[in-house]
Amino acid sequence: MRYSCESAKEDYDSDNSNPIKCKGIFEINSIEEENFSPKSQIKNDKLDNNLKEESSIQLNLSNYNLLYPIVDSSFNYAGNYENYVTNVLSSIIMLDLKIEQKEKEESNKETLRNKIKNILNDSNKQILLLDLDETLIHADFEGIFKNLNNYDTIINFNDENNNYSVGIFLRPGIYDFLNTLKDKFDIFIYTASTKEYANSVVKFLDPENQIFKMTFYRKNCININGQIYIKDLSIFDNLEKIVIVDNSLYSFMCHLSNGILINSFYGDKSDIELYSVLNYLISFVSNCDDIRKMNEQFFNFKGIMNEIKKNMENNQKLK
Ligand SMILES: [Mg+2]
């Protein structure tokens, strides 16, 4: 997350009438392919390799030119926020994505919408969607920390073929975060992971079923060429009441103004990002009329994207 709550508040208070620009930070230079690290290739993590569960909505991008590589969310680390945001937004522009969904998918969506309505039961709270991996927890599928014996827990789950036992790091502040927010928001988990894995993590985090209203999985995401999983916020009515916290900007690329981008978490015990997000949610989001406007004032993703677009067009004209 770019702003600590304090700096965000200062900026917000100093000029309440105008949207906050990311002052001087997002100086958009010409977007050259070299700006992307050669390492910015999507990597299929072990989970993806081991547990294939395709999302219900799949798009074939054979008609699109994938001129730019997809930027991996491991590049969303503290200190690299601006680079990450600029590169992802640039790649989204290059994708020029138009999502067309088929009738069948629309009817699935309708079923999901009705289910959500029943669960919410006329609640007028705002809705908080939380990503799981590298946002709330890190699962050590690679076993990198296995010998250090410092996991917060080990979860076990199985799919039809295999049993898994995976060490989990909880992001510092996770229980403060969830317990403070559960009275102010209706909270859902929205993960691009598989159902079996996600359910076992959710059960550990919320054994009494007191925090999360429901979990959405990979099958509820829009899958682009097996590379990007987009979380489909249009399954909710009233987008002005929806906020998603995720470590990947692609997750909410279709609803940029609904998203809070948090740095990726890989087990750092000194991480304080959840506290920053908690402060922002409590101070600014929980009582606002339209979360999208508030987020735009703070994070300005759409504004940045427009700047990049303009810059690209100008560069094009100069050629
Ligand atoms: Mg994630």
pLDDT for 182-195, tens place per residue?
999 999 999 999 99
Q: Is pLDDT larger for residue 188 or for residue 53?
A: 188
Cα of 137 vs centre of ligand 1, distance in Å, is: 9
Cα of 141 vs centre of ligand 1, distance in Å, is: 14
Give the pLDDT confidence of 256-269 residue by residue, as tens digits: 999 999 999 999 99
pLDDT at 312: 85
> What mean pLDDT comes out for the span 99-108?
61
Q: Residue 2 domain-assigned? A: no
Residue linked to tokens 């470590």: 247
Cα of 316 vs centre of ligand 1, distance in Å, is: 34
Q: Which residues contact 140 (CB under 8 A, 6 or more apart)?
A: 146, 151, 166, 167, 168, 169, 267
pLDDT at 44: 35
**Phi/psi at 60 (5° precision):** -100, 120
Q: Which band of pLDDT confidence, cut at 50, 70 and 90, is reported for residue 28?
A: very low
- Dihedral, 28, 293, 241, 187 alpha carbons, nearest 10: 50
Q: Residue 79 domain-assigned? A: yes
- Dihedral, 77, 79, 80, 82 alpha carbons, nearest 10: 130
Cα of 248 vs centre of ligand 1, distance in Å, is: 6
Q: Is pLDDT larger for residue 88 or for residue 104?
A: 88
Q: Residue 190 domain-assigned? A: yes
How far is Cα 177 from Cα 169, in angstroms, rounded to an integer? 16
Provide the token pair at 75. 């590049």
CATH number at residue 206: 3.40.50.1000
Cα of 262 vs centre of ligand 1, distance in Å, is: 9
Cα of 247 vs centre of ligand 1, distance in Å, is: 5
Cα of 120 vs centre of ligand 1, distance in Å, is: 25
How far is Cα 279 from Cα 291, in angstroms, rounded to an integer? 15
pLDDT at 164: 92
**Mean per-residue pLDDT over the chain, rounded:** 80
Among 153, 152, 229, which Cα is nearest to 194's? 229
The DSSP bridge pattern shows strands 259-261 and 242-246 to be parallel
Q: Residue 51 domain-assigned? A: yes
DSSP-assigned states of every residue in 134-194: TTTEEE-TT-TTGGGT--SEEEEEE-SS-EEEEEEEEPTTHHHHHHHHTTTEEEEEE-SS-
Q: Residue 286 domain-assigned? A: yes
Give the pLDDT confidence of 130-185 residue by residue, as tens digits: 999 999 999 999 888 888 889 999 999 998 788 999 999 999 999 999 999 999 99
> What mean pLDDT comes out for the span 69-73?
85
Q: Residue 1 domain-assigned? A: no
pLDDT at 95: 76
Q: Residue 3 domain-assigned? A: no
Query: Domain limits at 56?
Result: 8-318
**Number of domains observed in the structure of the chain:** 1
* pLDDT higher than 50, residue 32: no
Cα of 14 vs centre of ligand 1, distance in Å, is: 33
Q: Is pLDDT larger for residue 228 or for residue 133?
A: 133
How far is Cα 103 from Cα 55, in angstroms, rounded to an integer? 16
Cα of 258 vs centre of ligand 1, distance in Å, is: 16
pLDDT at 143: 87
* pLDDT higher than 60, residue 38: no
Cα of 313 vs centre of ligand 1, distance in Å, is: 32
Residue 28 near residue 307, CB atoms below 8 Å:
yes
> What mean pLDDT comes out for the span 117-132?
94
Q: Residue 161 domain-assigned? A: yes
Q: Which residues contact 172 (CB under 8 A, 6 or more apart)?
A: 269, 270, 271, 272, 274
